[in-house]
């Protein structure tokens, strides 16, 4: 029996009223709001995001992985609206979330900010406590490992950082889950390997993360951030692993920007080995719906 896992990212939920930009003033938030008004509102379409949700629901996955950037400029009003959207999308039991840089665009008090999404970021068996990363959720024979790269950045920066705590604890998590026989899915917003994003947008400790993944192993890394389809294989001590990036789930086909997408993985253990397939779903403007590719075996090129 296979386990099906849907992956989406970078919803950038709109609209973004101008008044939200000016409340609780921060210069970076003002710049981000101006950027939204000038161009980004044309790149992200709420109707396409709704169609992505409907398409995922129709596929009836066993679980959903959402790798961040639900919001735009971390305006205080975005958080309760984002929580309402998440509640309609999926229960905390069926949906796992990790925040992106736009979810922590500027400093917001925890209770008014990321705490709104805490139910979707809690490790199994943990309730009403401060968030801890990495978190682990076990779903049948699949382990979801959530990492947080979301920290407020300097003006014109969109990078991310894991930090000492996560880098120190991740090796033990990966090794323990391997010993228990789980298929390990790492969820992270920023691309996890060096060179996969421009310096302005990159994960600052990507090299350290890469070394951990190569040493302790994993089977699959899911990320967003670049708003495009990506597939990057790398070797680990436990065998080949792949980092899969996905287009924005609300992406409108504008110029060089890739239209919206989401992926569906089917994972199973066969003859003592893990096997996974991927079906990529892309927004088709002509038909006004998401069209999926035939499932393809995930294997190194």
| Residue 62, domain CATH | 3.60.21.10
pLDDT tens-digit map of 91-122? 999 999 999 999 999 999 999 999 999 999 99
Interatomic CA distance for residues 131 and 246, integer angstroms? 25
Torsion of CA 98, 101, 106, 109, to 10 degrees: 0
Spatial contact of 77 and 107, defined as CB atoms under 8 Å apart: no
pLDDT score, position 236: 96
| pLDDT tens digit sequence for 158-215 | 999 999 999 999 999 999 999 999 999 999 999 999 999 999 999 999 999 999 999 9
Contact indicator for 178, 133 with CB cutoff of 8 Å: no
Domain assignment of residue 214, given as a range: 3-297
Q: What pLDDT, on a 0 to 100 scale, did the predictor assign at position 213?
A: 98
Q: Is 9 helix (H, G, I), strand (E, B) or coil?
A: coil
For 209-232, write each residue's pLDDT tens digit: 999 999 999 999 999 999 999 999
Rounded distance between C-alpha atoms, residue 113 and residue 53, angstroms: 23
Phi, psi (5° rounding) for residue 104? -135, 45
pTM value is: 0.96
Split at pLDDT 50, 70, 90, the class of 128 is low
Let me know: does 119 contact 61? Beta carbons within 8 Å.
Answer: no
Domain count, the chain: 1
**pLDDT mean over 53-59:** 98
- What local confidence, expressed as pLDDT, does residue 21 receive? 82
Position 3 scores a pLDDT of 97
């Amino acid at each position: 029996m296979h386990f099906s896992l849907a992956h989406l990212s970078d919803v950038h939920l709109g609209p973004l009223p101008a008044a939200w930009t000016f409340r609780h003033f921060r210069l970076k938030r003002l710049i981000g709001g101006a950027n939204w008004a000038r161009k980004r509102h044309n790149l992200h379409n709420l109707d396409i995001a709704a169609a992505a949700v409907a398409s995922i629901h129709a596929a009836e996955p066993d679980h959903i992985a959402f790798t961040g950037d639900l919001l735009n400029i971390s305006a205080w009003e975005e958080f309760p609206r984002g929580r309402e959207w998440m509640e309609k999308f999926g229960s905390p039991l069926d949906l796992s979330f990790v925040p992106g840089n736009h979810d922590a665009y500027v400093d917001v008090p925890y209770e008014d900010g990321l705490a709104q999404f805490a139910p979707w970021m809690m490790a199994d068996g943990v309730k009403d406590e401060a968030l801890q990363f990495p978190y682990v959720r076990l779903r049948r024979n699949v382990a979801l490992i959530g990492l947080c790269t979301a920290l407020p950045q300097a003006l014109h920066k969109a990078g991310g950082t894991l930090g000492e705590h996560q880098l120190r604890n991740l090796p033990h998590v990966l090794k323990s889950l391997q010993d228990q026989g789980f298929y390990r899915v790492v969820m992270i917003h920023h691309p996890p390997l060096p060179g996969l994003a421009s310096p302005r947008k990159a994960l600052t400790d990507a090299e350290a993360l890469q070394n951990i993944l190569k040493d302790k192993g994993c089977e699959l890394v899911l990320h967003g951030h670049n708003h495009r389809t990506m597939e990057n294989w790398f070797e680990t001590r436990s065998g080949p692993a792949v980092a899969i990036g996905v287009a924005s789930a609300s992406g409108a086909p504008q110029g060089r920007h890739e239209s919206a997408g989401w992926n569906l993985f089917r994972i199973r253990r066969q003859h003592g080995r893990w096997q996974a397939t991927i079906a990529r779903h892309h927004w088709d403007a002509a038909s006004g719906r998401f069209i999926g590719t035939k499932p393809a075996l995930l294997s190194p090129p």
